[in-house]
Amino acid sequence: MNLSPIISAFQIKGNVISIDTIASGYINTTYKVNTSETSYILQKINHTIFKKVDALTENIIRITAHLKSKVGNEDKDNTLQVIYTKTNVGYHKDTQGYFWRMFNFIPKSKTIEVLESKEQAYTLGESFSKYHLQLLDLPAPKLTEIIPDFHNTPTRIQHFKEAIAKNAVNRLKNVKEEVDYMLELSSQMHEIVDLGNQSKIPLRNIHQDTKLSNILFDEQNNPLCIIDLDTTSSGYLAYDFADAVRTGMNTATEGEKDISKVSLNFSLFTSFAKGYAVNSKSFITPEEVNTLVLGVKIITYEQAIRFLGDYLNGDIYYRTEYADENLVRTRVQIAFLNNILDNFSKMNTFVKGLY
- Asked if 26 touches ligand GN1 (CB under 6 A), the answer is yes
Site residues for ligand GN1, 28-57, by CB under 6 A, read 49
- Toward ligand GN1, which CB reaches closer, 318 or 344? 318
Number of residues that bind ligand GN1 (CB under 6 A): 11
Stretch that binds ligand GN1, among 130-138, 156-164, 209-217, 337-345 (CB under 6 A): 209-217
CA distance 205 to 143: 8
Part in contact with ligand GN1 (CB under 6 A); list of ranges 24-32, 83-91, 95-103, 281-289:
24-32
| Cα 12 to Cα 119: distance, rounded to the nearest angstrom | 36
* CB-CB contact of 82 with 64 (8 Å): yes
49 or 65: CB nearest ligand GN1? 49
- For residues 74 and 39, the answer to whether their CB atoms sit within 8 Å is no
| 248 forms part of the interface with ligand GN1 (CB under 6 A) | no
190-219 residues in contact with Mg ion (CB under 5 A) are 209
Which helix (H) or strand (E) segment holds residue 155: the answer is: helix 153-166
Between the alpha carbon of residue 251 and those of residues 58, 163, 261, 276, the distances in Å are: 37, 30, 7, 20
Contact 265, 253 (CB under 8 A): no
CB 253 within 8 A of CB 315: no
Instruction: Output the smallest distance, CB 26 to Mg ion, in A.
Output: 7
Residue 256 contacts ligand GN1 per CB under 6 A: no
If binding is defined by CB under 6 A, does position 231 make contact with ligand GN1? yes
How many residues form the binding site for Mg ion (CB under 5 A)? 2
Read off the amino acid at residue 65. A
Q: Which of residues 219-238 bind Mg ion (CB under 5 A)?
A: 228
Cα–chain center distance at 103:
18
Q: Which does 339 bind (CB under 5 to 8 A by kind): Mg ion, ligand GN1, none?
A: none
Cis peptide bond upstream of 141, omega within 30: yes
- The one among 228, 310, 315, 325 contacting ligand GN1 by CB under 6 A: 228
Q: Applying CB under 6 A, which part among 52-60, 99-107, 207-215, 339-347 lies near ligand GN1? A: 207-215
Give the one residue of 178, 254, 288, 315 binding ligand GN1; rule: CB under 6 A: 254
CB–CB of 81/172 below 8 Å?
no
Quote the DSSP letter at residue 110.
B
In sign, the C-alpha dihedral spanning 295, 300, 303, 305 is: negative
Residues that bind Mg ion (CB under 5 A): 209, 228
Residues that bind ligand GN1 (CB under 6 A): 25-27, 49, 209, 211, 214, 228, 231, 254, 303
